[in-house]
Amino acid sequence: MKNRFFFSTAAALSLLCFSCTKPHTTLSEHKQAFAPPIMGWSSWNAFRVNISEDIIKRQADLLVEKGLKEAGYHYVNIDDGFFGKRDGNGVMQTNEQRFPNGMKPVADHIHRLGMKAGIYTDAGNNTCGSIWDNDTVGVGAGIYGHESQDARLYFGDWGFDFIKIDYCGGDVLGLSEKERYTSIRNSIDKVNKDVSVNICRWAFPGTWAKDVATSWRISGDINAHWNSLKYVVGKNLYLSAYAGNGHYNDMDMMVIGFRNDSKVGGKELTPTEEEAHFGLWCIMSSPLLIGCNLENLPESSLELLTNKELIALNQDALGLQAYVVQHENEGYVLVKDIEQKRGNVRAVALYNPSDTVCSFSVSFASLEFGGKVKVRDLAKHTDLGSFSDSFEQTLPAHSAMFLRMEGDTRLEPTLYEAECAYLPLFDDLGKNPKGITYAHDKEASGKMKVKFLGGQSENYAEWREVYSEKGGRYQMTIHYSHGHQRQLEVAVNGTVTRIDRLANDDNHHQLSIPVELKAGYNVVRMGNSYNWAPDIDCFTLTKAL
Ligand code: GLA
């Protein structure tokens, strides 16, 4: 937001008052309880397709014996590799060597332990294991063409509670993700509406995902190496707008507890990296699925995985994903409300993905705190004291720090970043080269902006929780670039201001318009119904005197 001249738009404004379509329901309007991210264990990272009845039952027992069930890990998920061939009627058979007694006794064992059982399929014909692990029984094991039949078997006859639906087969066939996953969900609903569905399409699939799934993978497969974690976290940094109301961005099964002989890339994480990994999965509200062989789980990893204060961030009743509030040098600061919406308590992460030390200076005003702020280190279970103005910390390479902060007062927000906005047409499938997206821009505030906005009325950016304590008149200052021959429509609670003349170049500029906010949450949308809108960096709000 620095070094930008003010581009006067007074003459360029024309005020059109018409109503937008009804804004999406805001989180605050949802009073009903919803399930937190699932916690449990999954077979893929440690065993790949080499699973068996004995292995799954033993891992389920170990969840109980090691106190992991007690800590909240309730799902035992069987990944790729359980199937045999289909019979002449298309009925799925289980793998005779790996599961000689079929799948029901395995699900029953898990249920008897008071836990939930998960299973796996592919949205196409063939599973990923049949392609990448040469597991030929995975050919034809996908659910495509067998949706009702498999749903009855998995959730009716066998009684599974969760399913992960991969996409290797779907990819090969070039199927439509939205159509396939919606159709599968409908088949499952006919058997059991409570089944938790996970979409495994290795990218944010689109805003339709929340209508069919509890969680969706946002990245390719993880392995036990810092660069892999950094990649997964990087893919999720700007997706907080899509999590909520019991639906979550899935950062993949965790790689905590692996030691050098592991199958996950043959690597292992340092204790500091493991702590950053776990804390980030917690504060970003990812499902927490342990991926290692519990038989060999080191004590220090067990202690981390059962850290109550970190788990509480993940299972918090508000169900929110932390968003990036600061990105300076190599460091990121993430924050989210916990316990109470817009209360005085927030969870904060300082995250240093880089290979060198990183110094953080986080102003309390940017975290919306006034007065003194009490700070607690959640990983170390230690109160750090009470601070004024800012929190300073230097972190080593590949690390993160997780804090609970409690301020004397909570301030009204003044800055809304484009990279935190909800984009209804956003997906990360890579099929549309000009699809709306969050983009790096080193001149932008937070070094991020939104581009490919507009062109149709549905392609907008929306901030659903623009908060004003008392309501009234504000000056909204919009920071943008690429205004050349473009226009911008700004809707505040449905009242649209159309800005016809923007700075006629691709540089960064700002413009101001007066807006009227009501007390509480307001919905702001930016876009352009007929032409490209400029790239949006952020907007600020200043109360008019
Ligand atoms: C894909 C998924 C993994 C795992 C394997 C199984 O790669 O992303 O999580 O399920 O398939 O083959």
What tens digit of pLDDT does each residue of 492-521 get? Answer: 999 999 999 899 999 999 999 999 999 999
CA atoms within 13 A on the CB side of 345: 8
What's the average model confidence in pLDDT over 380-389?
98
Ligand 1 atom closest to the CA of 127, numbered from 1: 12
221: three-class secondary structure by DSSP: coil
- Identify the helix (H) or strand (E) that includes residue 415: strand 415-417
Residue 336's pLDDT band, with cuts at 50, 70 and 90, is very high
Nearest CA to ligand 1 atom 5: 128
Q: Give pLDDT, residue 265.
A: 65
| pLDDT level of residue 11 (50, 70, 90 thresholds) | very low
Which neighbouring-strand residues pair with 249? 216
pLDDT at residue 352 is higher than 80: yes
Closest approach atom of ligand 1 to CA 164: 10
The CB of 427 under 6 Å from ligand 1? The reply is: no
Determine if ligand 1 sits within 6 Å of the CB of residue 158: no
Mean pLDDT of 158-183: 96
Length of the chain: 545
pTM of the model: 0.93
Sequence-distant (≥ 6) Cβ neighbours of residue 86 within 8 angstroms: 92, 93, 140, 141, 146
The residues annotated with a catalytic role in the active site are 166, 221
Q: Where are the alpha helices (DSSP H) in 307-367?
A: 308-314
CA 456 – CA 220 distance, rounded (Å): 31
Gap from CA of 172 to ligand 1 centroid (Å): 15
Mutate which of 200, 223, 255 for ligand 1 pocket (most atoms within 8 A of beta carbon): 200
Rounded distance between C-alpha atoms, residue 247 and residue 249, angstroms:
7
Gap from CA of 126 to ligand 1 centroid (Å): 12
CA of 164 to the centre of ligand 1 (A): 9
Ligand 1 centroid from CA 209, angstroms: 19
pLDDT at res. 261: 60
Q: Is the pLDDT confidence value at 25 over 50?
A: no
CB atoms within 10 A of CB 390: 14
- The answer to whether residue 6 scores a pLDDT higher than 70 is no
At 33 the pLDDT is 82
Judge whether residue 360 has pLDDT over 60. yes
pLDDT reported for residue 260: 73
Closest residue by Cα to residue 201 from 181, 187, 225: 181
Q: State residue 179's pLDDT score.
A: 98
Q: What is the mean pLDDT of residues 223-242?
A: 97
Q: Is the pLDDT of residue 59 over 50?
A: yes
pLDDT higher than threshold 60 for residue 377: yes
Average pLDDT score over residue span 13-41: 56
CA nearest to 378, candidates 321, 301, 270, 304: 304
**CB 47 less than 6 A from any atom of ligand 1:** no
| Helices and strands of the chain, counted as H and E runs | 12, 29
Q: Which two tokens stand for residue 337?
A: 């409300």
DSSP string for residues in 480-501: EE--TT--EEEEETTEEEEE--
> Is the per-residue pLDDT at 9 higher than 60?
no
Q: Strands, E, within 10-144: which ranges?
A: 13-15, 39-42, 75-77, 83-86, 92-94, 116-122
Give the pLDDT score at 20: 32
pLDDT at 1: 36
What does the pLDDT average to over 91-96? 97
| pLDDT value, residue 545 | 81
Is residue 91 very low, low, confident or very high in pLDDT (cuts 50, 70, 90)?
Answer: very high
Amino acid 267: pLDDT: 74
Q: Rounded to whole angstroms, how far apart are CA atoms 332 and 235?
A: 13
Least confident of 64-68, 257-261, 478-482, 483-487: 257-261
**Phi-psi category of residue 455: left, alpha or beta, with phi > 0 → left and psi -120 to 50 → alpha:** left
Q: Give the number of the atom of ligand 1 that is nearest the alpha carbon of residue 253.
A: 9
Range in 264-273, 469-478, 497-506 the model is least confident about: 264-273
Task: Give the pLDDT band (50/70/90) at residue 320.
Answer: very high
Residue 535 — pLDDT band, cuts 50, 70, 90? very high
Could you tell me the distance, in angstroms and rounded to a whole number, from the CA of residue 485 to the centre of ligand 1?
A: 45
CA dihedral 65, 58, 111, 288 (to 10 degrees): 70
Pairing of strands 196-199, 162-166: parallel
DSSP label of 395: E
Predicted local distance difference test score (pLDDT) of residue 272: 98
Q: Ligand 1: does its nearest atom lie under 6 Å from the Cβ of 128?
A: yes
271-295 pLDDT, tens digit per residue, is: 999 999 999 999 999 999 999 999 9
- Please count the other Cβ atoms lying within 10 Å of the Cβ belonging to residue 256: 26
221 lines ligand 1 (CB under 6 A): yes
**Which residue's alpha carbon is at the smallest distance from atom 9 of ligand 1?**
221
- Is the Cβ–Cβ distance between 123 and 171 less than 8 Å? no
Question: CB-side exposure of 197: number of CA atoms within 13 Å?
Answer: 27
Residue 536: half-sphere exposure toward Cβ, Cα within 13 Å: 33
At residue 190, the pLDDT reads 98
* pLDDT exceeds cutoff 60 at 192: yes
Give the C-alpha separation, 459 to 435, whole Å.
9
